[in-house]
Chains A and B, each alone.
Chain A
Amino acid sequence: MDTQKQLDEFQQRIDNGEKIEPKDWMPERYRKQLIRIMSQHAHSEIVGMLPESNWITRAPSLKRKMVLLAKVQDEAGHGLYLYSGTETLGVERRELVEDYIYGNAKYSSIFNYPTLTYADICVIGWLVDGAAIVNQTMLAKSSYGPYARANIRICKEESFHKKQGYEMLAKMTSGTPEQKRMAQDAVNRWWWPTLMMFGPHDTDSPNSAELIKWGVKTKTNDELRQSFVDRMVMEAEAIDVTLPDPDMKYNEKTGHWEFGEIPWDEFWSVVKGDGPMNRERIKARRKAYEEGEWVREAAMQYARKKKLKEGKAS
């Protein structure tokens, strides 16, 4: 059991803005929360490769094909160092991976929606990476050192992805009538699920207070969502695309854009596993994992044999 003295000292370090490092003492609950958040973040990067890789082979120019391939590669990289970061808390990657492909561990619900046209790829870059950046910019100041550092690196790459998505979307919204139609349709489908990425309202978010107290997060879900919306309204206007919210209006007093009611029933349904692509995403990841088993075993076996041979030789 963590003693009160330890807890107080820990809290003092957090309040002083110190970073917690892997070998430092930390409350069990802090460790658990971080494992949960960091591994969910890692799983999201990995599952997030699926809706995007759906368009690599069909990308409409060689440049766009390379941009998308590089983006998906970056996501594999993010997943890799987030898993490594989580391992500093005393869990193994294998265990974490099996938790989401066979168990109940979560990943971002946004990836349970399908990418229907190439415009979806642009909108994911703009909105989904845009939302991720808002979140990760905050997490880059997280109290846990390895997580903060991972987010600094991730944010740099995500900003690049967002820029590329937004630029291509702008080309589509100023392009042919078919391109404009695809672009607007993609925005219509992704807007609300993107707002859900910030999680439930603060009043329905049981973990928030604790995470803020421990400096894992520094802003609430609703604060982050609002700053995202304020920014996106301007960006949408600049490229002549309409956000599908008839209730959106500017509040002169607060200086913020007020938006309509998020479809929370859909959010909870997708979180619980009933979204358009939940089953397929898990099935695809499980298939890759199981079909890769013999490869991983071969690599381990080869390494063992090699070690044995080297042992004999010396």
Chain B
Amino acid sequence: MSTFDTIPQTRKEALIEILLRLGDDRLIHGHRLSEWAGHGPELEEDLALANVALDMIGHASSLYAYAAELDGKEDEDYYAYFRDDIDFKNIAMVELPRGDFAFTMARQFLFSAFSYFLYDKLIKTVDDEQFNGMLQKHFKEIKYHLRHSREWVFRLGDGTDESHKRTQDAFDEIWMYTGEMFDMDEADKAAIKHNLFVDVTSFKDEWKNLVNETLEEATLSVPDYDQYMFSGSRQGRHTEHLGPLLAQMQFLRRSHPDAEWK
């Protein structure tokens, strides 16, 4: 039993938990993408990466704002700045260091493909108007993130020998962190009961098909789906990479908790 494995009892608790899980994935992934600002391989990509980072942090911010409203917290910043590593519910994949451009694009593709199917199903299921409205808005941007990263997987996989090798290495390295996307726990089940979430395993085959097709077209081999998979991040069991990320993200805000920064 994990320290934070408390099962949401009410509809409100279930909703807050889902908002934070989605929000944390996006904030942490957005943070990693934002590290590229000013350092991209070409100017067009500096723009595109900043754009995707901005979308993701924006999505997190609105999900948190709704959670704060339900949870009686001051605002969205509470969740980003005043929680510790073990409170964060993001999957480990998004907290891994940004790596090279191949790593960044491989991760973005895998995550955006997952988000695409997830949001598509959520929009048809979630019966909370405010939450559903957000999902619909974010879904449009997720489609772009998927297209953008998928095109790069083609270019890099089927580009030069070097880009092929780097991209294959990236997928091989990330693979053990993909399993967590499809883990289900009691909190997910509680949310499903209230029509606030969906069974993520229900679209695993669709996700796999898209990944297989994409990697095949990019002349890359698909790593073994049955290999060891990292798990536990949704319950606060992270890698060692999240701590330094949060230390950087939170230091100024926490050093001056009484200051106004908005």
Contact = CB atoms under 8 A, between A and B. Distances in A.
Interface in B244-262: 248-249, 251-253, 256, 258-262
A55 to B, nearest CB: 9
Contact of B162 (A56, A65, A69, A298): A298
B248 A302 contact: no
A312 interface: no
Given A50-B38, A64-B261, A179-B259, A73 B248 contact: no
Nearest to B39: A288
Contacts of B158: 302, 305
Interface stretch (A75-83, A127-135, A249-257): A75-83
A73 B50 contact: yes
B163 interface: yes
Contact of A295 (B38, B42, B61, B64): B42
B32 to A, nearest CB: 9
Interface in A38-76: 46, 49-50, 52-53, 56-66, 69-70, 72-73, 76
Contacts of B108: none
Contacts of B53: 69
Nearest to A292: B41
B101 interface: yes
Which secondary structure characterizes the binding site on chain A? helix
B261 A53 contact: no
Contacts of A179: 256, 259
B37 interface: yes
Interface of B: 27, 31, 34-35, 37-47, 50-51, 53-54, 57-58, 60-61, 64, 76-77, 80-81, 100-101, 154-156, 158-160, 162-163, 166, 248-249, 251-253, 256, 258-262
Given A69-B54, A297-B163, 5 more contacts: A56-B34, A56-B35, A63-B262, A69-B50, A72-B38
